[in-house]
A and B are shown apart, each in its own frame.
Chain A
């Protein structure tokens, strides 16, 4: 029996739970944006309902981590990992909230036809979802380099957001009946841009967990 077998098993369980939560958030974002593109009201409502489950998982993971800290008195790497875990789930929960907001936006835009096909917004979501997947992998592998690389992709998300803003402003200025839609779309784009920022925060904590260094990766 290895030393601290129970502790190792618990930590592995926490990691699995974080991955599961990550998948839930990725799914929520994916489906929120899909419902936006396809004007799928039912899907959007499902995303809204699913947020409660994400919040629940966040609490469960937090409780597990707190208990581990109290009972196992972790130090060094273990301590950094647990603290990082707590920080990650906070960021994931916020991203889940953003998925929720996107879904709500979808519901509000349901009666209207889109002024233009949605290209950049789904693209942003795709980049963001990949970033989530990759940073969580980096967390599992304790890979600081990978985390830094993921953080660098936020620039792409920001560019896409700027592009969306420019396009939307153009449409808004051309026809005042598009203003309401534009604002909704702007907000949705903003939410997806925030997702990128949250992932970058996660990257900073992954670097800390691996190296003990505090870094600033948000540009």
Chain B
């Protein structure tokens, strides 16, 4: 069966599938504990560059935990212990010599509930740029980021307005613009549209597809239709009897949703278990 490829610039689809994959970030034998609770075990995932990878699974299976471990945000919860490796540009980001602050600049994150700073739209973006030592033309950076986040036209004449007065969907796009401004490689998104209405959701999804040209997108979602609509690859996680999350199947989205290899995946995506 000939599968469609979303990214025309790859050229011939057959060669795109047989060429050695370019991985933006990989996990190897990733285990995460919260105190004595074993949250996820032995996660081996490789995320391809400039693709959208979705992580799906029932509640409590550790999807957000895995996502947060990709930019060391899980360390912010006290008592978290991470073992295994997360390789980014060949280096393990959990190496003691690596500064998590630097990691988080390169691997940005957008959260479920839009959380812009209670400052002006301009300041929201400028702050991140400033603390990361941006020395160029700030106005240009702001405009560029807002354009890339498909928000420029809507806010160009009210940049000094408080960001909290924007609608939910606009706020979320602002959060995306804020992340883009500091030039990351990878953008992690934790259920970015679950707090938004359907129209805003669609806009975010369109934006994600557009952003994937330049960045690698990894998204956690509980909305299966969303995952099947926009992602190139899908990872399915589940919990075992001890409530520890593990990876069941990882495949190109077209395969996983038409011809999943594991019965558990089949049951989950067909809605036959919760």
Give A contacts to B, CB under 8 Å.
2-4, 7, 73-80, 212, 214
B111 within 8 A of A: no
- Check B225 against A79 for contact (C-beta < 8 Å): no
Q: Which residues of B contact A2 (CB under 8 A)?
A: 272
Task: Give B251 Cβ to nearest chain A Cβ, in Å.
Answer: 12
Partner of A3, one of B260, B265, B266, B272: B272
A-B contact pairs, 29 of them (CB 8 A): A3-B271, A3-B273, A3-B274, A4-B270, A4-B271, A4-B272, A7-B271, A74-B270, A75-B224, A75-B228, A75-B257, A75-B269, A75-B270, A76-B257, A76-B258, A76-B259, A76-B260, A76-B265, A76-B266, A76-B269, A76-B270, A77-B266, A77-B270, A78-B270, A79-B257, A80-B258, A80-B259, A212-B258, A214-B1
Partner of A75, one of B1, B258, B274: B258
In the complex, how many residues of chain B place their beta carbon closer than 8 angstroms to a beta carbon of chain A? 16
Give B contacts to A, CB under 8 Å.
1, 224-225, 228, 257-260, 265-266, 269-274
A134 to B270, CA, bound (A): 28
Main secondary structure, interface of A, reads: loop
A212 to B258, CA, bound (A): 8
Q: Which residues of A contact B260 (CB under 8 A)?
A: 76
Q: Which residues of A contact B258 (CB under 8 A)?
A: 75-76, 79-80, 212
Additional A-B contacts beyond A78-B270, A79-B257 (10; CB < 8 A): A3-B271, A3-B273, A3-B274, A73-B225, A75-B224, A75-B228, A75-B270, A77-B266, A80-B259, A214-B1
Q: Which residues of B contact A214 (CB under 8 A)?
A: 1
Q: Which residues of B contact A76 (CB under 8 A)?
A: 257-260, 265-266, 269-270
- Check B259 against A212 for contact (C-beta < 8 Å): yes
Task: Give A83 Cβ to nearest chain B Cβ, in Å.
Answer: 10
Task: Give A110 Cβ to nearest chain B Cβ, in Å.
Answer: 49
Task: Give A11 Cβ to nearest chain B Cβ, in Å.
Answer: 11
A214 to B258, CA, bound (A): 13
A77 to B265, CA, bound (A): 11
A78 to B266, CA, bound (A): 9
Task: Give B180 Cβ to nearest chain A Cβ, in Å.
Answer: 31
A99 to B142, CA, bound (A): 72
